[in-house]
Amino acid sequence: MHTPSSILIDVELPDPSPLPPALVKLVSSLRVVIVGWYEVPEQTSPEQAREQFEDEAGDALQEIATPFEEAGADVTQRLVFTGNVFDTVSRISVEENCDAVYIARPAKQLQNVLVPLRGTHNIEEIMAFVADLLKERETKVTMLHVIEKGESEEKVLSQIIEPARARITDQGIDDAMLSDRLIASDDPADVIIEEAEKYDLVVLGETEPTIRDILFGTVPERIATNSNVPVMVVRHLADEEPAAEATS
């Protein structure tokens, strides 16, 4: 039996920003781990905060989770009170074996997806996640590769693009919904950021070793910030670091 991919979505409590209905619909075929985090000030212990605010925070988290449950997603809720949001979210992503992490930005529709591919690193995980995400949907996928010095277009097509295409069509995605785009540049990050503005969503592989870097720095965050497009970062679990120390 096929186990669906999973995605971590974190929200700040007690007043989370609403998540777009287009996202709820898009991830309804996945296991969705919703982490509601309540940041605790230094002078307050997580236990004290939980005792005081658990009911209010739990209600807010359930309100976020309900649309996903109604859409058919397999939803896991995690409510945390913490003084270190970064490490707590990182720890939970490991505990829950999340395949991807969502970086939120406004989204009215999610019909055109950009998938940047850099070499063969993480390509199996990326395309498996994209296939699970878009199965039985009329969503267009563009696979992007930035050709750097020393690479040839023929080699990129044969070693990166075609294997990626085969991986995703083998899992039921219509080949007619796929296209590829090759751009020569010495600055892949800037190219990806510029291209991202033309799409509704970016799905790319993890290039940094920790979930902290995924969520709060580097290329994925630059894409989300500069293009104002939501990003899903597919993790490379083979390089997983030990879980961070619990803070809640």
Q: Are residues 117 and 221 in the same domain?
A: yes
User: Are 68 and 119 in a shared domain?
Assistant: no
Cα–Cα distance, 207 to 121 (Å, whole number): 9
What pTM, to 2 d.p., does this model score? 0.88
Give residue 221's domain range: 112-234
Q: Do 167 and 54 fall into the same domain?
A: no
Output the domain CATH number for residue 18. Answer: 3.40.50.620
Instruction: Give the pLDDT confidence score for residue 238 in this predicted structure.
Output: 56
Residues 226 and 128 in one domain: yes
129 and 222 share a domain?
A: yes
**34 found inside a domain:** yes
Domains contained in the chain, number: 2
Q: Give the model's pLDDT for residue 208.
A: 54
> In this structure, are 117 and 199 located in the same domain?
yes
Same-domain status, 123 and 88? no
Residues 93 and 124 occupy one common structural domain: no
In order along the chain (248 residues), what is the average pLDDT of each group of 10 residues? 90 92 94 96 91 95 97 97 90 93 87 90 90 90 93 93 95 94 92 94 76 60 84 74 40
Torsion region of 228: left, alpha or beta (phi above 0 gives left; psi -120 to 50 gives alpha): left
Q: 233, 220 in Cβ contact below 8 A?
A: yes
Residue 21, pLDDT score = 93
Please indicate, yes or no, if residue 245 is contained in any of the structural domains. Answer: no
Asked if 72 and 124 sit in the same domain, the reply is: no
216 and 119 share one domain: yes
**70, 98, 126: which is the final residue of a domain?**
98
Shared domain for 76 and 120, answered yes or no, is no
Whether the upstream peptide bond of residue 16 has omega within 30° of 0, thus cis, is no
Please check whether residue 244 lies inside any domain of the structure.
no
CA angle, corner 225, sides to 213 and 7, nearest 5?
A: 55
Per-residue confidence (pLDDT) for residue 189, from 0 to 100: 86
Identify whether 87 is part of a domain.
yes
Whole-number pLDDT of residue 188: 87
Distances in Å between the Cα of 32 and the Cα atoms of 115, 188, 201 are 21, 30, 17
Q: What is the dihedral of CA 172, 176, 177, 181, to 10 degrees?
A: 120
pLDDT at 241: 46
Please identify, among 35, 70, 98, the residue that sits at the C-terminal boundary of a domain: 98
Where is the domain boundary, 98, 123, 141? 98
Taking Cα atoms as reference points, which of 40, 45, 32 lies closest to residue 85? 40
Do 183 and 205 belong to one domain?
Answer: yes
| Rg (alpha carbons) of the chain, rounded to whole number | 18
